[in-house]
Chains A and B, each alone.
Chain A
Amino acid sequence: MTCPNTPSAYPFSFHCKRALLTIACSTLGFVSICASADEVTVPNTIHWTIPFGVGGGTDVWARFFAPWMSENIAGNPTLVIDNVPGGGSINGSNLFAMRAQHDGSQWIGTSASTQYPAMLEDRRVRYDYTDWAPILATPTGGVVYAQPNLGSDADAILKAMSEGRVKFAVQSHTGLELPVLIALDLLGADVQAVSGMRSRGEGRLAFERGEADIDFQTTSAYFSSVEPLVESGRAIPLFSLGVLNDEGEIVRDPAFAELPTFLEVYERLNGDAPEGPAYDAFRKFFASGFTLQKMILVPSDTPTALIEEYREAARRFVDTEAFESAAEAQLGPYTPVVGDVVEQHLQEAMSLSDETRQWLTEWLREQHGARI
């Protein structure tokens, strides 16, 4: 079955990591892994569908996780990454929903651009998150920043944004930037969203060229590409989106402890917390696009023991120091969420009420001329 030359076969080539992992495993109880191997039959090979192209964000994310998962699941199965790009991840997810086997040998890795079309009831979507059980999710945060010519500090810029139009380069109006657009709207900013960027990076380039007045980047891209701009005075950070804690409250992002969150800024400007369909939409898209930005899922009728084994495998490494230091560059200072916690967040995030969806449709059409 397993060809030793399969390109995406992981179990070798991690010389130094393996040593660290063995130590980590033994401290966590290597015995328990062996014991659980008797109870469930883990497939020899797991095909992990990534509905994005090779080298993209989600692909790199999956390739980073593959060896960690493989080493920690009983029997060390071979993880084969199967890229099925197209339709902004909709094609691959549709295929997975249609074809995936329920014996635990098939996983899918999804991202915000898989979650959003499902929430917006895009007519191309033929997958349903309620058919899938989450194993693990990784969160991310993000920061909105602006050109210094709008004002000398964040407050002055926020004021200027409510008085004059500012331009913001986005991939599409319903892409990862959607909650950011809603947040800016709640703050009273007059934003012109120019769509058609092929990546968040292209949006940043438009900002650096001076074409866009404001921009937004997720945590890792912010550290590598925006912080140098901030240091040299070519960008001013306004607010972070924050992170969702276990109680479901939005709190300061550990990566940007010194930056206020969008909620804090809103409360300072308006006196109380935001509410209504706009805020509801913000929360849902923030939760599914940022708190659960990337997820490992399996069909929910996979044997429960196997799902538990996969979740247990994730729990075995997410808190280890070895993983944290390796993950710093890939995921930022966030700890992956595992199992039931993801399931709760996921159900809450994906259920968009008809009222909110109706508001969103009208808002997108009136404010941004975009049709869903």
Chain B
Amino acid sequence: MLEVIFSSLGQLFTASHLFYMMVGVLIGLVVGIIPGLGGIAGMSLLLPFLYGMEPSVALGMLMGLVAVIPTGDTFASVLLGIPGSSASQATVVDGFSLAKKGQAARALSSAFLSSLIGGLMGALVLTAFILVARPIVLSFSSSELFMLTLLGLSMVAVLSGKDLFKGLVACGFGLLVGTIGMAPATGEFRLPFEVDYLYDGLPLVVVGLGIFALPEIIDLLVKRGSIAEQSCELGKGWQQGMKDVVRQPGLVARCAGIGSLMGTIPGLAGSVVDWLTYGHAVQSAKDKSQFGKGDIRGVIAPESANNACACGAMVPTLLFGIPGSGTAAVFLGGLLLLGLQPGVSMLETNLDLTYTIIWSLALANILGAALCLGLAKPVASLTRVPFVILAPIITILILFAAYQATRSLGDLFALGAIGVLGVLFKQANWSRPAFLIGFVLAPGAEAYFYQAAQFQGTEAFIRPGVIIIGLMIAATLIIPALRRYLSSRRYGNSAHTSNADLLSLGTIDVILMSGMLAVAFYTWVAFSELSLLGGIMPRLAIAIIVIACIIEICRTVSRPTRWLAQPCRQAAMWVTGFFLLIGSIMLLGFVITAAIFCLIFLLLIARAKPLVAVGITASITLFLIGMANLLTLTYPTGILASL
């Protein structure tokens, strides 16, 4: 055993192996940094070269890529508020807030150091765990998986704080949007408007970009200035970020542990782990007030988890041939192309290759994080550039990223629609993570509940694993409430009179709530033909929306409420502009629109020097054309071109 471990370590340090791994790492960094491209795009760049390569060298290259993607995508999350991939959505919440405070370098260096440690711990856990993982992975049946999705959903309560019911409405709406598509139990289609695009449901990337990135762009355009509102020395922040991680050894270790274990559970993995660990960071913190406004722990937690998770995801991929994430799915394809079949043989005849994979993961994590740490300081200075200059670039990037989801025009419309929701949520201070958590977990919750009920019947809910996770959920929900109750008794009622604790209401709140109720009513009618099994999940989501809405309305009516001005006229203007942009893409095609939009925006709105404007426009256009060649992309060509 030890012999195999060390012989594969020796193989790692041969020149060809190191070279190909470095190639993998570099490609991984580039596709990680460009929003919307992730593991899948990276893998498809490498796959053509795989067939016929020496397996151990090829695996090193693939692992280099897999390992650094959750590291590289942090740049977009922190600096631009664009969730680079599904694994780094939670990083956006506090990472981007820190960037706005002028602490981008701090957030980045924290994130990379946590990624590094998380990745190494993940590899370490994997070394031992992969040998005994089989029975443990098999002990997670559909009912335990269902309970884990519930645990993820319970994070909504943790993240919503005092606006619990608004959070529940948001989560219910996320659940409802998440049920669009095919019902797993009966194969019926749940399409609110009979649009073909919705057959597969909305893509996660598009929803993530719409709910987080678009509102931030618009907000920054309304406010003017640069991303960093306060200036700060980048160098100091860089060291500060390292120190932050060192000061939180417990948090890093726990989140890396959660990450690598969740990664090993097939079918769940990446989508929940960042929110689970983010929720954990909030729960375990004494002072919760800064979360969402730029608490460094909100960056450390998900970042130490997501690299560990990428390691853990190798367990189901290698042992069962069941990929834990999108990237792992493509990695699996790579294994098959190399002539390797996943399964028990990876522990027997091919154990040396398995350890090559694990060692490559560890080494690639170190290389990737070191490169990113080096880049952090110069790249963080982006946040000091006036935002109007960046806005057209980021807008094009977001459109490009969204279009990668299914490569159809529908992606752009979906982005706009979710973007509107995101803008309203942001302006009214509703929980956007709650919406996203609902959306991400809806399909899993439904499918696993149905499967648990079918496979196990009522026995599903007395299994020990189910009860343990159930207790964890109860603790998540009850302990904070209990603590709040105790502290309010201790300090009497004095806290209640402060202005901040008063309920508030504004125009957008009213619009959102009446809008949600209308949508709930419409879908109830539109889905009335669904069978019992196929319709249970959307109906449950509707029930959550309606009940939480009613309670919130009762609360605001019965208690003293402060009327809050929620201006949205300027935001509405920018949103309209965005839809005009999509319209122009339909008319003129993507590349031409991007070039014209970029040039006009830079000249007229940003008032940049003509030379600068032309330069930026040219580079954006070249980037888009280059990407099209590299990824065999076809952009929308527009109606005019086809005439």
Contact = CB atoms under 8 A, between A and B. Distances in A.
Interface string B234-268: 00000000000000000000000000000000110
A196 B186 CA distance: 9
Interface string B325-353: 00001111110110101111100000000
Interface string B170-202: 000000000000001111100000001001100
A83 interface: yes
A10 interface: yes
A326 B620 CA distance: 43
Contacts of A195: 184-187
B188 A371 contact: yes
Contact of B187 (A56, A174, A198): A174
A3 interface: yes
A329 interface: yes
Interface string B47-62: 1110111000000000
A29 interface: no
B403 interface: no
Contacts of A15: 52
Contact of A211 (B53, B142, B187): B142
A180 B331 CA distance: 29
A83 B330 CA distance: 12
B632 interface: yes
Contacts of A204: 320
B455 A167 contact: yes
Contacts of A196: 184-185, 447, 450-451
B142 A206 contact: yes
B456 A202 contact: no
Contact of A64 (B51, B321, B330): B51
Interface in A174-227: 174, 192, 194-196, 198-199, 201-202, 204-206, 208-212, 220-221, 223-225
Contacts of B185: 195-196
A67 interface: yes
> Most chain-A Cβ atoms within 10 A of its Cβ — which of B184, B331, B450?
B184
Contacts of A167: 454-455
Given A13-B51, A86-B406, A212 B455 contact: yes
Nearest to B326: A53
B536 interface: no
B138 interface: yes
Nearest to B460: A211
Given A84-B407, A369-B186, A194 B200 contact: no
Contacts of B632: 6-8, 47, 80-82
Contact of B451 (A6, A7, A194, A372): A194
B497 interface: no
Nearest to B328: A55
A84 B44 CA distance: 13
B342 A224 contact: yes
Interface in B197-255: 199-200
Contacts of A13: 48-49, 51-53
A17 interface: yes
B558 interface: no
Contact of A6 (B46, B52, B629): B629
A353 to B, nearest CB: 23
A12 to B, nearest CB: 9
Nearest to B405: A86
Interface string A52-91: 0111100110011001000000000000111111110011
A7 B455 contact: no
A192 B322 contact: no
B493 interface: no
Interface of A: 3, 5-10, 13-17, 47, 53-56, 59-60, 63-64, 67, 80-87, 90-91, 124, 167, 169, 172-174, 192, 194-196, 198-199, 201-202, 204-206, 208-212, 220-221, 223-225, 228, 329-330, 369-372
Given A13-B51, A64-B51, A228-B343, 9 more contacts: A7-B630, A16-B52, A55-B331, A60-B337, A194-B451, A194-B455, A196-B447, A224-B342, A225-B321
Interface of B: 40, 43-49, 51-53, 138-142, 184-188, 196, 199-200, 266-267, 320-322, 329-334, 336-337, 339, 341-345, 406-408, 447, 450-451, 454-456, 531, 533, 629-632
25 contacts: A6-B629, A7-B44, A7-B45, A7-B632, A8-B44, A8-B47, A10-B48, A14-B52, A53-B40, A54-B43, A55-B331, A55-B334, A67-B51, A85-B406, A86-B200, A91-B406, A173-B187, A195-B187, A206-B455, A209-B141, A212-B455, A224-B321, A225-B320, A225-B343, A369-B533
